[in-house]
Structure 1
Amino acid sequence: MDRRGCGGRPKTSELEQREEHILRVAGETFLHFGFEGTTMDAVAEAARISKRTLYARYVDKTALFNAILRDLINRWLIPLDQFQSEQGELKETLLALARYLTTFALTPQSINVNRMIISEAQRRPEFGRLVDEVGRRPAIHAIATILRGRRAELRQINLDTAAEQFMSLAVDRNLRLAYLGIRVNAEQIETWVRASVELFLAGVMRQNPVVAERVGESNSAET
């Protein structure tokens, strides 16, 4: 018998759907009113749930905002496992990764949430620490894992540092423009991503393929 009609507890899938609904509505409320302007009462009303239900899940709006951040970060990180298992050429893997990281980070939701974090940085630095520890650090670790899989192709460098430099080079510039309200289109993203990956590889590869080819041609001519 279906217990839902008899006041039984919701099934797991229903709980997940309810959680997704609350986080989505809460996220929209925060984006509309800002952190200071948002109240738990407003979120409960917008989500059409009781305040008791909301407070049973989140003790206050800081906890609710942290949950929204973690949900956004988790959705950003999940596809990184696929990139880490790629066995193709390093250049193509890095190109695909840079495109993904940039495209997701430039979604309106991501931009608006990060703007809110920046505006609250002085009063609530824990938001920034959460994004760095739960989001950026795992992303950099994933990049470093990709580089370690091609260790034989790379110079003797600190791969964790190289991974962080790749993130700064390939992704951060377009995010900075977006935070300033400067729109970046798909063509500009692609141009920047390709130039960044080529510059990065020129610095980390044992020998630049173009240079190696020219050296080979020179040696052939001498013999």
Structure 2
Amino acid sequence: MATPAGPLRGRPTTAGRARRHREILDAAISEFLHNGFGGASMDAIALAAGATKRTLYTHYGDKAGLYGAAVEQQHTYVEEFRGEQVTLESAAIVVVGSVFSDASIGLHRLVLAEAHRFPEIATSFYSRGPEQAMEFLAEHLPEGLTAARRRELSVWLFSLLLGEPHRRRLLGLETEPSDQWVKRHAVAALQMLRINR
């Protein structure tokens, strides 16, 4: 459980707001992973993050919105690398590192287990996780492709980047992979599609 932070004084800086956002989402992820979506408590998340429930509802809307923000937190590379000269290989590597992380796997397991009871989290998970990852990959595909072809290739590439190893992660048969494995897996997926890296 995250250590509650003290109250902020004065107007927070951009860095301060980003740090508080991460603290809240870290507390939310911990609560979701320990108690599931249905059992997660906004009171417990607020307490762990040193925030008020009012802050959570103001910034995230409701528990589903907070879950969606937690999923999106696993894909921060989308904004960090936007507009930068990133190769397709680098983009694929960062996506694999994200979706195979312990936090991402935990949130993925949660949505699989509870989406039938809380369909809103399935929508949020897909739009703020896989869909963002595919759009990010599409941005870094070779030039000269039509929008339709770019979308098609990004879907195939994302599927290959997950593949059977991701299923094994979801089932708890594999631990979080090393950086070396992540790179090898990403490069192998690109080679299978014969995409210029």
Which TM bucket (shorter chain)? 0.7 to 0.9
What per-residue deviation string (whole Å, max 9, x for no partner) do you get for residues 116-169 of structure 1?
1111211222322223323323332333333342x3xx8xx9232122111112
Residue in structure 1 matched with residue 28 of structure 2 by the alignment: 26
Q: Which structure 1 residue ranges, 5 or more long, are not aligned?
A: 1-6, 87-92, 206-223
CA distance in 2, matches of 1:167, 1:10: 41
What per-residue deviation string (whole Å, max 9, x for no partner) do you get for residues 155-189 of structure 1?
xx923212211111233333222101121643554
Aligned length: 184
Q: Which structure 2 residue ranges, 5 or more long, are not aligned?
A: 1-7
Give the superposition deviation at 1:79: 4.4
SS of structure 2 residue aligned to 1:78:
helix
CA distance in 2, matches of 1:145, 1:48: 38
Structure with the greater alpha carbon radius of gyration: 1
Matched, 1:138 2:132: yes
Residue in structure 2 matched with residue 159 of structure 1 by the alignment: 150
Aligned pair partner of 1:195 in 160, 176, 188:
188
Please list, as runs of the form range in 1=range in 2, the aligned pairs for 1:100-139 lying within 5 A after superposition: 100-139=94-133
Aligned pair partner of 2:38 in 19, 36, 39:
36
Q: Please state which structure has a larger fraction of its residues in helix.
A: 1
Give the superposition deviation at 1:61: 2.1
Matched, 1:62 2:64: yes
Give the superposition deviation at 1:55: 4.0
CA distance in 1, matches of 2:82, 2:100: 20
| Paired AA for residue 11 in structure 2 | P
Instruction: Report sequence identity in percent.
Output: 27
Query: TM-score when scaled to structure 1?
Result: 0.67
Work out whether residues 99 and 189 of structure 1, in 8 Å CA contact, stay in contact via their aligned partners in 2. yes
| Paired AA for residue 28 in structure 2 | A
Higher RCO (CA-CA < 8 Å; seq separation 6+): 2
With over 3 angstroms needed to count, the CA separation of the structure-2 counterparts of 1:80 and 1:168, relative to structure 1, is: farther
Query: TM-score when scaled to structure 2?
Result: 0.74
CA distance in 1, matches of 2:167, 2:111: 14
With over 3 angstroms needed to count, the CA separation of the structure-2 counterparts of 1:39 and 1:146, relative to structure 1, is: closer
Matched, 1:179 2:173: no
Work out whether residues 80 and 142 of structure 1, in 8 Å CA contact, stay in contact via their aligned partners in 2. no
